[in-house]
Amino acid sequence: MFTLNCKGKIVVFDEPVVMGIINLTPDSFYSGSRHSTIEDVLSQAGRMLQDGAKILDLGGQSTNPGSVRISVEEELNRVIPPLQAMMARFPDALISIDTYNSEVARNAIDCGASIINDVSFGELDPNMLDVAASLHVPYIGMHMKGSPENMQKNPKYDNVVSEVIDYLAQKAEMCKQKGIIDLIIDPGFGFGKQLNHNYELLYNLKALKILEKPLLCGVSRKSMVQKVLNTDADHSLNGTTVLHTIALLNGASILRAHDVKEAVEAVKLVNAYKNAAPNQSGIKN
């Protein structure tokens, strides 16, 4: 389905994969994803790997609506010790560093991370794309309208699907020119989008395949689930699984999820469904 060159190690993914979320922030919107000690992080990482996560996404900078940027030093203090412990315990794990700061990205890659996951696609740090290119690691770039501080203050689009595609296409070309080989794109559900924008993007997800890049979808327990079901993050797992299923049917390559086991099960069931299509006449009840 797609390959990634992770610091010289070629990793082949022949089906959609799950990226497990490990937050090192005290204010993540879902309390179940917050981890404050290294032992807690190691325990969660082990569970996620056992449940089938192919990538672990480690982040120390909150990107909740209204969140403010912490210092580089504080972000490094949050992510580097747990990252080093994870690499010591799970040396073969693929770890992405969730940051929009190039200095944090560089330090994390030096300490064993293999992928950069940048919600700002280089907009919040002008050095990020050059640093990503120089490190020769896969780069995840996301569409976000504005910044975490202001992105949900009445975002507007004439056509959200075409505007997101145009933005990602321009950024993909910029990455190509800078020498970023392995680019993964993320339409940015919940980042500078109202509820209807999120569902328009999900419905038209297949349109993003025109970019010919692996597609990451991050819908796990987000407000687009909570608002429709009139619930909160703690009770959004079932809704998340439904949206994961839709995303997979519409071409998602990576599911970024809090609940790895359930996301992996969604991948397995959608694969079984898709694999049955060419042999419908031979299916026995």
pLDDT digits (tens, 9 = 90+) for 240-277: 999 999 999 999 999 999 999 999 999 999 999 999 97
pLDDT confidence bin for 68, thresholds 50/70/90 = confident
pLDDT digits (tens, 9 = 90+) for 133-148: 999 999 999 999 877 7
How confident is the model at residue 281, as a pLDDT? 53
Query: What six digits make up the tokens of 123?
Result: 């907009």
Query: Is residue 208 a part of any domain in this protein?
Result: yes
Query: Is residue 174 a part of any domain in this protein?
Result: yes
Alpha-carbon dihedral angle through residues 40, 43, 49, 54, given to the nearest 10 degrees: 20
How confident is the model at residue 26, as a pLDDT? 75
Q: To the nearest whole percent, how much of the chain has pLDDT over 70?
A: 93
Nearest to 42 by CA among 84, 100, 96: 84
Task: Look up tokens 């328009």; give the residue.
Answer: 200
- Residue of 20 and 281 predicted with greater confidence: 20
pLDDT digits (tens, 9 = 90+) for 117-173: 999 999 999 999 999 999 999 999 999 987 776 667 778 899 999 999 999 999 999
* The pLDDT of residue 35 is above 90: no
d(CA 40, CA 50): 15
Residue ranges making up the domain that contains 70: 15-277
Task: Look up tokens 């449940």; give the residue.
Answer: 51
pLDDT confidence bin for 285, thresholds 50/70/90 = very low
Query: Is residue 197 a part of any domain in this protein?
Result: yes
Query: Is residue 65 a part of any domain in this protein?
Result: yes
How confident is the model at residue 47, as a pLDDT? 97
Query: Is residue 6 a part of any domain in this protein?
Result: no
How confident is the model at residue 83, as a pLDDT? 97
CATH number of the structural domain spanning residue 196: 3.20.20.20
Average pLDDT rounded to a whole number, residues 72-88: 96
Annotated active-site positions, please? 222, 256
Query: Is residue 79 a part of any domain in this protein?
Result: yes
46-48-52 Cα angle (round to 5): 115
How confident is the model at residue 80, as a pLDDT? 97
Query: Is residue 31 a part of any domain in this protein?
Result: yes
Domains: count for the chain: 1
Query: Is residue 267 a part of any domain in this protein?
Result: yes
